[in-house]
Copies of this chain bind each other. A is one copy, B any other.
Amino acid sequence: MIKNAVYAQSGGVTSVINASAYGVIKKCFSCGEIGKVYVGLNGINGIIGDDLADMDCEEPYEIDLLKTTPASAFGSCRRKLSESHEDEFKKIFEVFSKYNIGYFFYNGGNDSMDTANKIYNYSKKIGFELNVIGIPKTIDNDLYGTDHSPGYGSSAKYLATAILEASLDVKSMSADSTKVFILETMGRHAGWLAASASLARVNANYGPHIVLIPEVPFNREKFITKVDNTVRRTGYCSIVVAEGLNDEKGNLVAHFGATDSFGNKQLGGVGSTISSIISEELKLKVHTAVPDYLQRSGGHLSCYTDVNEAVLVGSMAVHYALQGKNGYMVSINRISDDPYYVTYDLVDLAEVANNTKTIPNDFITEDGMDVTTEFIKYAKPLIEGEYYPPILNGTPRYAKLRLIR
């Protein structure tokens, strides 16, 4: 009997996670071997709670718009499964049974692959016929077993564009006003996002001058010296810092800084901490930007390469599931940097769930405050190409789904 498929999204969103949904849905519709495509609303919560939407009820035009619609069109979640809560697994498989599910596609990062792996293991344990395939997604680019993760390229393009433009701004103002600009990026454990801002230099001679990543402990003296030298040499200084920057003792630099009005230490304030340090030591005027969600949902600046790869990891997940592959995540395997070419392979879910990928040493300069040309070679193809969303009345027209239960 023909089986149905269920797909869900999990973890922090990206500009292109819905492009992977598009890949899954289109491939399921066209393959002729899968019945209905359901989507779990708000990730695994929707499956546990029997809250599924039937993709047959959506307008084809809106499904097409998923390619350019950022964030999670079906809702995401932060829920983690634990083997000690078997009731959750029981509910999941009751729902799978009720809807005649034979294929489960879970789209997310490390934690989501852990969830997918646990569901895979449980299906084996109870002898439920199910193909589980994970679909990679994270702006952090820290997923193990894949050259890079869909979502990273578009955020990298956003941040490179942002620091390029802000560097022009601070350069403009530096003659008699602001001399330092700081861009605070996401990235708690890995500096891939902060590092990506260095791609701005591909089209400009200036900025960012300093890149601070969690992989290298922050050294206040060396940092201040480099800012001072840069301002003396070029008239201004443009800095990118990852939120997860640590000092030499392993403490978050963000915690050095501001306390809120209730006396609590504020999180995510590494930009303002660094700013305070510069103001105090060098008496320079500093501006700080914290794009926060804007860097991961900036669909107006989606990258063509990234959208295309996101669609393909989705459709290849269906392709491999139909071949009987089970318990894997689709991975991107780079064949060549320039001209850029990749293939789509598989990696064990368990391997992905238990590892993370930080920036290798040969991508980091000797002073620890910049990236090397090796990094540029790696990251440059990932921001290539534009995929502008359709615009209506001056702002993007994103997908409007009906989500019929």
Q: Which residues of A contact B (CB under 8 A)?
A: 9, 12-13, 42-43, 45, 69-72, 75-79, 157, 160-162, 164-166, 168-177, 181, 199-200, 202-204, 256-262, 264, 266, 269, 272-273, 276, 280, 287-294, 296-301, 303, 380, 383-386, 388, 391-398
Contacts and interface: CB of A to CB of B under 8 A. Distances in A.
Contact of A262 (B199, B260, B280): B280
Nearest to A273: B261
Smallest CB-CB A-B distances: 9 pairs: A383-B394, A72-B172, A71-B168, A42-B175, A289-B292, A258-B258, A169-B297, A165-B297, A260-B276
Main secondary structure of the interface of A (DSSP, over half): mixed
Given A71-B165, A160-B395, A393-B202, A262 B290 contact: no
B296 A294 contact: no
A385 B171 CA distance: 28
26 contacts: A70-B169, A71-B171, A161-B300, A164-B398, A165-B298, A165-B300, A166-B297, A170-B293, A199-B393, A200-B395, A202-B393, A203-B397, A204-B398, A257-B261, A258-B258, A258-B259, A258-B260, A258-B261, A260-B276, A261-B276, A262-B276, A287-B292, A290-B290, A380-B394, A383-B393, A384-B394
Nearest to A384: B394
Given A43-B175, A258-B259, A289-B291, 16 more contacts: A9-B172, A12-B173, A71-B168, A75-B172, A157-B394, A160-B395, A162-B294, A164-B395, A165-B293, A166-B294, A203-B393, A203-B396, A259-B259, A260-B276, A303-B394, A386-B391
Given A181-B293, A294-B162, A395 B157 contact: yes
Contact of A293 (B169, B204, B392): B169
B45 A176 contact: yes
